[in-house]
Amino acid sequence: MRQHFDESLARLSNEMINMGSMIEGAIETAVDAFINQDIEKAKKAVEYDDVVDREEKEIENICMKLLLKQQPVATDLRTISAALKMITDMERIGDHAADISELTFAMAGQPYIKRPYIISRMAKETVDMLIKSLDAYAGKNLSKAWEVIKHDDVVDDLFSSARKELIMLIHENPDNGEQAANLLMVAKYFERIGDHAVNIAEWVIFSITGEHKNYEEE
């Protein structure tokens, strides 16, 4: 009985890592498409969304079977509960990759009013946060999870800078308004991806220690 349970837990871990690889691929493709205004890559990023959704359903099924048939307790219960919470954030990151790509489509054929250096840096920082949060899960690494949580302020500060820059560009020339609004939405999606990476890191901490709280208040 325990052997079957351990095999199911191992399968859960493998599927979580697999889903993590999918959303890494989705967001990295979306970032590349956005920076280079590459429509073909934007299409690929959108295509990831359905694959990620199917993987989320697969992990949900594994978790529900474990909960209903095995009635886990203590650490095992935390592992399964955290996985259910994490896949919600992972799925939302996949959605945001598609959202960013849709905005890339909307801005196709128009040179950027200004090269999006700040947003590009936001993209890099959020991708790094995502990768670290997933590595923290795979390696049950508390220090990496904490690094992600503490790094959220960097992304928030970059978002504030991007917003100020885009508002200034609209003031300078109202014709910039539509594209500036689209770029601001891209920045907002990257900020949200950072928030979801923090959520994943918090659930990693919960799965290891049993403690969970909103660290943003500290």
CATH of the domain at 88: 1.20.58.220
Number of domains in the chain: 1
pLDDT at 177 (0 to 100) = 94
For residue range 49-74, what is the model confidence (pLDDT) as tens digits?
999 999 999 999 999 999 988 888 88
For residue range 143-184, what is the model confidence (pLDDT) as tens digits?
999 999 999 999 999 999 999 999 999 999 999 999 999 999
Q: Which residues of 189-205 are buried (b: 16+ CB within 10 A; e: fewer)?
A: bbbbbbbbbbbbbbbbb
The model's confidence at residue 33, banded by pLDDT at 50, 70 and 90, is: very high
Instruction: Give the predicted TM-score (pTM) of the model.
Output: 0.91
Alpha carbon distance 212, 204 (integer Å): 9
Given a cut of 50, whether residue 191 has pLDDT beyond it is yes
Question: What residues make up the domain containing 57?
Answer: 2-217
pLDDT at 70 (0 to 100) = 81
Kind plus residue range of the DSSP H or E element containing 130: helix 117-139
